[in-house]
Amino acid sequence: MIEAKFPLPLLLAAERIVNQAIGEDVSARDRMATLSGLVFEIHLTSPTLRLYLTPTSLGTILIRRDFDAMPDAQITTSAIGLARLATTGSEGMDALFSGDIRIDGNPRAAESFLRVLNELDIDFFGILAERIGVGPAGLLERRAMRFRENFTDWRRTRQIEQADFLVYERQLLVPADAVQSWMDEVDGARDHVDRLEARIRCLTQRMTESAENRT
C-alpha cells in the first residue's frame, strides 16, 4: 500500500500551532518535557499516513515525516479516531478506550503524550481564519461539525444494534447446560462404540482361532 506524505508547509504550520498552544499552557509544557527524547509514531490507517512526534526538553514538539529507527510507541488510528482524539475533554480520550486507537510499544508514555495533546486549547478554525479568511474557515468548521455529528449518530446506532443483539439474539444461543448435556451424551456414545469395537475384535479373534483348530 502506498503511503501518503504530509505536505511540508502544513507540517510546519501544524507544528507551530501545537507548540504555540503548549507555550501558553505551563502545565502542558512541563508534562511534555518529561517525555523529552521519546519518539511517538502516529500511524493513520485511512488514509495511510505516518508522522513522528518528539517532545523536547523545552516542552515543545518536533514533527517529522520520516524516522529511521524504531519509535518508542506507535499510535495507530483512523482519521475518524484522530478527529475524536482532537476533541477537548474526556470525550476525546474515549477514543483511546473504545478501540479507535491502538498503542504498541510504551503504552504509559503514549497515553501521557495523548492526554497532553488532548487537553490543549487549540482554536484551529480561528487560526485558519487568519490565513484564509473568516468565510472559508467558517464553512470548513460547519462541515467538520456536521461530520462529527454524523459520526456520533453512526456510533450510537452501532451501540443500539449491539444492545439489541445482547437482548434478543442471544436468546437463540444454546444454554450452557444444554451444551454440557449434549457433550456428556457424545462422550457416552463414544464409550459404547469403543466397547462394541473391542467385542467385535474379540469375536473375530475367536472365530479365526476356531477355524484354524478345525483345519
Which residues make Cβ contacts (< 8 Å) with residue 145, sequence separation at least 6? none
In a domain, 45, yes or no: yes
In a domain, 111, yes or no: yes
In a domain, 38, yes or no: yes
Burial class (CB in 10 A: 0-12, 13-18, 19+), 125: middle
Which residues make Cβ contacts (< 8 Å) with residue 81, sequence separation at least 6? 95, 100, 101
Residue 83 pLDDT: 65
Cα distances (Å, whole numbers) of residue 175 to 92, 98, 164, 178, 181: 39, 29, 19, 5, 10
Give the Cβ contact number of residue 31 at 10 Å: 18
Q: What's 44's DSSP letter?
A: E
Q: What's 86's DSSP letter?
A: T
Structurally, the chain folds into a number of domains equal to 2
Same domain? 61 vs 166: no
User: 72: domain range?
Assistant: 8-122
Same domain? 105 vs 165: no
Same domain? 147 vs 48: no
Q: At which of 65, 91, 122 does a domain end?
A: 122
In a domain, 3, yes or no: no
pTM over 0.75: no
Same domain? 79 vs 115: yes
Same domain? 107 vs 144: no
Same domain? 62 vs 115: yes
Separation of alpha carbons 189 and 57, rounded Å: 71
Which residues make Cβ contacts (< 8 Å) with residue 23, sequence separation at least 6? 29, 59, 60
Same domain? 32 vs 81: yes
In a domain, 157, yes or no: yes
Mean pLDDT in order along the chain per 10 residues (215 residues): 68 84 89 94 83 93 90 85 60 61 90 86 64 67 66 68 66 72 83 82 78 70
In a domain, 142, yes or no: yes
Cα distances (Å, whole numbers) of residue 194 to 63, 131, 179, 182, 197: 69, 83, 23, 18, 5
Same domain? 37 vs 114: yes
Same domain? 114 vs 42: yes
Residue 56 pLDDT: 94
- The CATH number for 32's domain is 3.30.1050.10
Residue 192 pLDDT: 82
Same domain? 81 vs 44: yes
Task: Tell me if residue 34 falls in helix, strand or coil.
Answer: coil
